[in-house]
Amino acid sequence: MTADIRNDIIIATEHIKARPEVVFPYFTDPALIVAWIGERAELDPQPDGVFSLDMGEVVALGTYTTVEPPYRVVFTWGIPGNDTLPPGASTVEVVLTPDGDDTMLVLTHRGLPSAHIGYHRSGWEDRLGRLRAAAG
C-alpha cells in the first residue's frame, strides 16, 4: 500500500483480494466499516446522507455526496469542534476498479489543511491495510 501527497492531496492505493462488489459495502455499511476503521458508525449512504465515524479519540463527520455502487463513493470529512478541519471541510473519494477477481482501490483525500496532511496520510496507510485484511 502506498499513500502519496501531491499538491496537498493524499492519494492512497491498495490492492484487495476481493471484487468491488465485496469491497464497496466496507464504505457504506456501519457493521463493515468498523471492521477496519472506527468503533461506531452512523451511515446513510445516499447523497446528503450522514457519514459519522467514531474512531475512539476522534469523530469524523460529513455527508455522502456520491454513491455509485460498486465502483465509487465520495463523502465529506471533518472533525466536530476542530476550527481548522470542521465537519465537511475535506472530501474523500474512493474508486474501486476490478483487477481480475481482485480490486484496485484508489482513495483521494482533498481539502485537508497542511497541518493535517501527514497525520491523515499515515492514518489512511494503516487503515487501508486493515481494510485489505478485512475484505480480502
What is the pLDDT at residue 1?
75
What is the pLDDT at residue 2?
80
pLDDT per residue as tens, the chain (136 positions): 789 999 999 999 999 999 999 999 999 999 999 999 999 999 999 999 999 999 999 999 999 999 999 999 999 999 999 999 999 999 999 999 999 999 999 999 999 999 999 999 999 999 999 999 999 8
Read off φ and ψ for residue 87, nearest 5 degrees. -50, 130
Contacts of 28 (CB under 8 A, 6+ apart): 43, 45, 67, 69, 73
The rounded distance, in Å, linking the Cα atoms of 61 and 90 is 10
What is the pLDDT at residue 105?
98
Q: What is the pTM of this model?
A: 0.96
Domains delineated in the chain = 2-135 (3.30.530.20)
